[in-house]
Amino acid sequence: MKQFLKPATRKSFITYLLVIAAFIAVEIMVSTGNASNMFKGLLVPFCVYSVAAASLNLTVGILGELSLGQAGFMCIGAYSSAIFSIVTKDTITSAWVRFPVAMLIGGISAAIFGVLIGIPVLRLRGDYLAIVTLAFGEIIKNVFAALYIGYDSSGLHVSLTSQGDLGLAPDGKMLINGALGISGTPKDSTFEIGFAVLLITLIIIYNFVNSRTGRAVMSIRDNRIAAESIGLNITKFKLITFGLTAFLAGIAGALFSHNLSTLQASKFDYNLSILVLVFVVLGGIGNIRGSVIAAVVLTYLPEVLRSINNYRMLIYSIVLIVMMIFTSNAKIRGFFTASFMKLKGLIIKNKSAKEGE
Amino acid sequence: MALLEVKKLGISFGGLRAVDDFSMTIEKGQLYGLIGPNGAGKTTIFNLLTGVYKPTDGTIHLDGKNITGKSTTEINKAGIARTFQNIRLFSNLSVLDNVKAGLSNRYSYSTATGVFRLPKFFKYEKQMTERAMELLRPFDLQDDADTLASNLPYGKQRKLEIARALATEPKLLLLDEPAAGMNPKETAGLMNTILTVRDDFGVTVLLIEHDMYLVSGICEKLSVLNFGQLLREGPTGEVLADPEVIKAYLGE
């Protein structure tokens, strides 16, 4: 096994297998009736947050820049894909055609904004970049919350003040109703599609990281001056990474919006950006598999704890702190690695002892 | 025609004149040394040559092409690669990937090719790995290819930096204190490596060094810098015997 699979390839294949195994396990649970309604309701959010966290890890872990604008890009993806789906609901009846196109539109619009915002913003580094991306995320959310779009026979009407201001004909239809958001999005998101999207996202991310571009991006992360000295175009590679992160976040947003019949922009506030960043940090910065696991565990946990409502946030925060200590403290990590190796050694010893008999 | 022609180069940081009226000509294939006391402006000249700083005055021509004021990236593409005084490796990448990063512009394929694993990806990655291994061999690093760069011992890190710089196929290689922190035995090994690199890769070498054993051992020509100005230039033996140079180094 070791000879024909490089460590990087092995790492990505283990992740794919884990995700596929989890999918099969869930499918069995659902079909045998062992899944609660609460759990079934969480399946799509699992995929949404996993995709969002894995893609943010590209910017935070691979590029090494702190971005707090993830919710903003998800917002763009959610809105643009939802508008597309509502408009084409009657013409394209098959969700199998409509939804992938909607997701692509969501991803591409988010990527366009990602690159546009990235051009000025990526000149900044560290805390400053975090602050500016946070601001852009909030701006995007607030613009959508103030946006009224409707269409009738005479075309598209846009207003930033009120619904009445649109001057819509009586036969007109509202697309975005300001702070009330979008309603009537077809519920196209299913766990199966979410799983497929997650798997494709992981393949894209791992292939990206293990290619010339990924290597260049990690070089820039490790030492910008040296990366320049070997002729790497810093701005270009930063923009590509930022754009890809936004693209995948947009797709996560599309998955999100097609899971809800009504969607308000206020869902995409900075709390969501921070939440996704928490997934990334706890899963391990630069560790894509960790992001997915952290996203699933930390999405599930608050819902499980709902039954002990009073202590819910207490336990959630304790788990967060424990996870932080476990993942960041080299000594504790070393202890577990050492005991794991010991256990492995024991098993091998037992095996060889048995064979010796 | 000279490979590198520097004319009346100068830079000021505020009121400080770090380099003033500095001229230098390096012929193709030469092993050239740049020496001078601490703070004389040697590394500043490297930074000017590689575009880290933009010169306030003067011009730099590489192979007849004006590269004055160009960006570091453009200058590397034009044919100058360098190493750093304080080692700057991509510490979280493997030794092999450090060199492959240096090969990025020679074996260029698009991001989409990489993400969708098109045939070109496999072809170029294979060629890159082979070429990178070829570059590691003269530095005796081929067995460390999968080691993380930060886990290499100090001497090997210095060598890896040279290998990475060579990966960009430069015409001119700038080495900033390559022997710093090395013991005499390691220095002797390094001298051999530098000579091999010059002959096998056909590069011209300009190096900054304080170790006079190395300088007198391999440099063919020297420029001595003092307080940002050229003190003396010429063949190594003559320059090192010059009383002015000895005075600048040792004081009166």
Task: Write the pLDDT tens digit of every residue in B2-54.
Answer: 999 999 999 999 889 999 999 999 999 999 999 998 889 999 999 999 999 99
Is A228 close to B104, i.e. CB distance below 8 A? no
The ipTM assigned to this model is 0.92
CATH number for the domain whose boundaries are B1-79+172-252: 3.40.50.300
Question: Which residue intervals of A59-189 are DSSP H helices?
Answer: 70-88, 95-121, 126-145
Residue A165: the pLDDT is 78
| Residue from the list B82, B98, B109 with its beta carbon closest to the beta carbon of A229 | B82
**What are the chain B neighbours of A107 within 8 Å (beta carbons)?**
none
Does A62 touch chain B if contact means CB atoms closer than 8 Å? no
Backbone dihedral region for residue A147 (phi beyond 0: left; psi -120 to 50: alpha; all else: beta): beta
Nearest Cα residue in chain A from B121: A211
Higher pLDDT, A202 or A2: A202
Per the CB < 8 A criterion, the answer to whether A219 and B90 are in contact is yes
| pLDDT at position A355 over 70 | no
What confidence tier does A324 reach under pLDDT thresholds 50, 70, 90? confident
Does A3 touch chain B if contact means CB atoms closer than 8 Å? no
Residues 209-228 of A with CB under 8 A from B: 210-216, 218-219, 221-223, 225-228
Task: Write the pLDDT tens digit of every residue in B78-102.
Answer: 999 999 999 999 999 999 999 999 9
Nearest Cα residue in chain A from B96: A215
Residue B143: the pLDDT is 95
Give percent of chain A above pLDDT 90.
59
- The per-residue DSSP string of B133-182 comes to HHHHGGGT-GGGTTSBGGGS-HHHHHHHHHHHHHHT--SEEEEESTTTT-
Mean pLDDT of chain A: 89
CA distances from B252 to B51, B232, B244, B249 (A): 36, 17, 10, 9
Residues 313-332 of A with CB under 8 A from B: none
Residue A316: the pLDDT is 79
| pLDDT at position B148 over 90 | yes
DSSP-derived 3-state class of residue A231: coil
| pLDDT at position A345 over 80 | no
What confidence tier does A1 reach under pLDDT thresholds 50, 70, 90? very low
Residues 6+ apart with CB under 8 A from B150: B89, B91, B92
Residues 6+ apart with CB under 8 A from A348: none
Q: Can you read off the two tokens belonging to residue A244? A: 């890809």
Torsion of CA A148, A151, A157, A162, to 10 degrees: -30
Task: Write the pLDDT tens digit of every residue in A27-77.
Answer: 999 999 888 888 999 999 999 999 999 999 999 999 999 999 999 999 999
Per the CB < 8 A criterion, the answer to whether A174 and A150 are in contact is yes
What confidence tier does A176 reach under pLDDT thresholds 50, 70, 90? confident
Residue A352: the pLDDT is 65
Task: Write the pLDDT tens digit of every residue in B188-224.
Answer: 999 999 999 999 999 999 999 999 999 999 999 999 9
| Residue from the list B52, B101, B165 with its beta carbon closest to the beta carbon of A219 | B101
Torsion of CA B197, B202, B208, B210, to 10 degrees: 40
Q: Can you read off the two tokens belonging to residue B200? A: 């096998």
| Residue from the list A204, A207, A215 with its beta carbon closest to the beta carbon of B97 | A215
Residue B248: the pLDDT is 84
The residue among A224, A229, A236, A239 with the most chain B CBs within 10 A of its CB, best to mutate, is: A229
Is A226 close to B111, i.e. CB distance below 8 A? no
Region A323-336: what's the mean pLDDT?
72
What confidence tier does A2 reach under pLDDT thresholds 50, 70, 90? very low
DSSP 8-state class, residue B41: S
The H-or-E segment that residue B197 falls in is helix B184-201
Domain extents for chain B? 1-79+172-252, 89-169
| pLDDT at position A4 over 70 | no
**What are the chain A neighbours of B91 within 8 Å (beta carbons)?**
222-223
Task: Write the pLDDT tens digit of every residue in A212-227.
Answer: 999 999 999 999 999 9
Q: Position of tokens 């239809």? A: A173
Per the CB < 8 A criterion, the answer to whether B84 and B161 are in contact is yes
A117-131, A343-357, B106-120: least confident range:
A343-357
| pLDDT at position A7 over 80 | no
